[in-house]
Amino acid sequence: MPAPAWLTARLSAIELFAGLSDEQLDWLACAGTVRELGDGQALFVEGAPADGFYILLDGEIVVSKLVGGREQVLTRHLGDALEHQFIGELPLLTSDEYLATALAVGPARVVAYGKGAFFDMLERCPQVCRVLLPVLAGRINAMERQAGRSRMLEGLGMLAAGLAHELNNPAAAALRAARELRDLAPRLAATAVEWGRTGEETEVRLVARFQDRVGSGAALDPLAEAEAADDVADWLREQGLGPDRAVELADDLAEHGVDRAALDELAAGLRPDALAAALAYLVPVLRIRTLAGDAAEAAERVVELVRRTSAYTNLDRAPQRDADLREGLEATLALMAPKLRNIRVRREYGGVPDLQAFPSELNQVWTNLIDNAVDAMGGEGELTISTRREGDHAVVEFRDTGHGIPAEALPNVFQPFFTTKDLGKGTGLGLHVSMDIVAQRHGGTMEVDSRPGDTRFVVRLPLARVPE
């Protein structure tokens, strides 16, 4: 059956087929099937078996990919463009399934070539490779960059979530302390004035020594503290304080370790009419000292979290430097703590010297491997992270008790776009990008061995300086 003349003429005007003979163009016109698409109709969908290569004749095709549960547009193809009017070659050459979804925007018309016809095309018309292969390489790079950016944003989101979770407790403690300090300041000022008017010099010095000495013992459990408060309240009532005032002071005094014996010692050095003023002054002093300690502890915790975040991202250091692998691993574990809540993490750190590396990039590798392990274990299980030295290499091993990677998938796990996760989960680029960081940026290797209940990723990094 002769080829339609209009189709042969249309194909000859497409960049991919420029320079083909009339015979080759006739074969292309006969081997393909013209398809008409309505607005919004799918040419192919992500995850479906890759079975076709398409030449866009008229209209517009938009290509999108599901990344992190959200649809992202990768590219648009126009039938009246001067170049790149073809689609579908990437999954035919690199995968068994479509890596994205292609939809018609308005009415569109394509020529479809089955998988067999596509490879026949490459054999019968080898000239098309001069256009096809550079475009193929460019599309792979573009998809990797875009999906890599999504992966980076996902990592930043995880970093932010982990940091927010870790900061919540110290920030709340510091806020509580600040508010109570604000409320206590007027009370301290008033009682200090009264104590200054009442106390004699020797008594003031006695109370100062007393306040420095108490409150440094071990904290009591709630029951013991309640019993101590009752005992102190009884002592205060014996000294003539009213019941409500005695209970109010007793709770604070007992909380700071002041018991009946300590009060007897204090009272022995004070005039009876000075005792009430001394205790009224002493309680806010002790409380403010405790609150200041709580605020300082919370601030130190925040500083430590900032240090960990800095260690993870290396924001304050040159990209390449002497790196402590354990520091990066610990920073990564700290920032991923919310996701590791039900995971038992075992650390088996051996002696590994510092090595020249790009620490923030290695931390991305650790994040990806830990994240994959948690997913493989369904959020529950045991993760073992070990470091050791093997000759002139540092070795970092991640071992999890998850369901494992199918044997048929193991040879492909480091390929671009390959994923064992369900459609819409992950980018399928994590291990490929991780391998690129390890191999290209650090001259190392990454290996995987997996069986149900025991999956191991082994990263080997040379101890010698990484080339610039």
In Å, how far from its chain's centre is CA 135?
Answer: 33
Helix (H, G, I), strand (E, B) or coil at 157: helix
> What pTM, to 2 d.p., does this model score?
0.48
Strands 393-400 and 454-462: antiparallel
d(CA 417, CA 181): 56
Q: What would the two tokens of residue 379 be? A: 């959020």
- Whole-Å CA distances, 175 to 163, 309, 412: 17, 22, 51
Task: Indicate whether 467 pLDDT > 50.
Answer: no
Q: pLDDT per residue over 7-43, tens digit each?
A: 888 988 888 888 899 899 999 999 999 999 999 999 9
Render the burial of 378-388: b for 16+ CB within 10 Å, e for the rest. eeebebbbbbe
Q: Taking residues 374-403, what's their average pLDDT?
A: 92
Percent of the chain exceeding pLDDT 90 equals 22
Counting DSSP H helices and E strands in the chain, the numbers are 13, 15
Q: What is the pLDDT of residue 89?
A: 85
Task: Indicate whether 317 pLDDT > 60.
Answer: no
Q: What is the pLDDT of residue 382?
A: 95
Q: What is the pLDDT of residue 163?
A: 63
Across 282-286, 317-321, 373-377, least confident range: 317-321
Task: Indicate whether 102 pLDDT > 80.
Answer: yes
Q: What is the pLDDT of residue 156?
A: 57
Q: Taking residues 73-86, what's their average pLDDT?
A: 77
Q: Taking residues 302-321, what's their average pLDDT?
A: 62
Who wins on pLDDT, 467 or 274? 274
Task: Indicate whether 380 pLDDT > 80.
Answer: yes
Q: pLDDT per residue over 196-247, tens digit each?
A: 888 888 888 888 888 887 765 555 567 777 887 888 888 888 887 877 777 7
- Nearest partner of 366 among 413, 406, 410, 312, judged by Cα: 312
Q: What is the pLDDT of residue 419?
A: 60
Who wins on pLDDT, 362 or 147? 362
- Whole-Å CA distances, 77 to 12, 50, 54, 84: 18, 19, 11, 8
Task: Indicate whether 426 pLDDT > 50.
Answer: no
Percent of the chain exceeding pLDDT 70 equals 82
The helix or strand, by DSSP H or E, that contains position 58, with its residue range, turns out to be strand 52-58
For residue 341, what pLDDT band results from cuts at 50, 70 and 90? Answer: confident
Asked if residues 381 and 344 have their Cβ atoms less than 8 Å apart, the reply is: yes
Which single residue is written with the structure tokens 């550079």?
Answer: 134
Q: What is the pLDDT of residue 82?
A: 61
For residue 468, what pLDDT band results from cuts at 50, 70 and 90? Answer: very low
Q: What is the pLDDT of residue 367?
A: 87
Q: What is the DSSP letter of 465?
A: P
Q: pLDDT per residue over 449-462, tens digit each?
A: 999 999 999 999 99
Q: Helices 243-255 and 222-238 meet at what angle, rounded to 10?
A: 140
Task: Indicate whether 427 pLDDT > 50.
Answer: no
Continuous H helices in 314-392: 325-335, 359-376
Q: Taking residues 302-309, what's their average pLDDT?
A: 67
Q: What would the two tokens of residue 422 be? A: 């369900």
Instruction: Kindly give, in sequence order, each residue whose CB lies less than 8 Å from that of residue 194, ignoring residues fewer than 6 positions away.
Output: 277, 280, 281
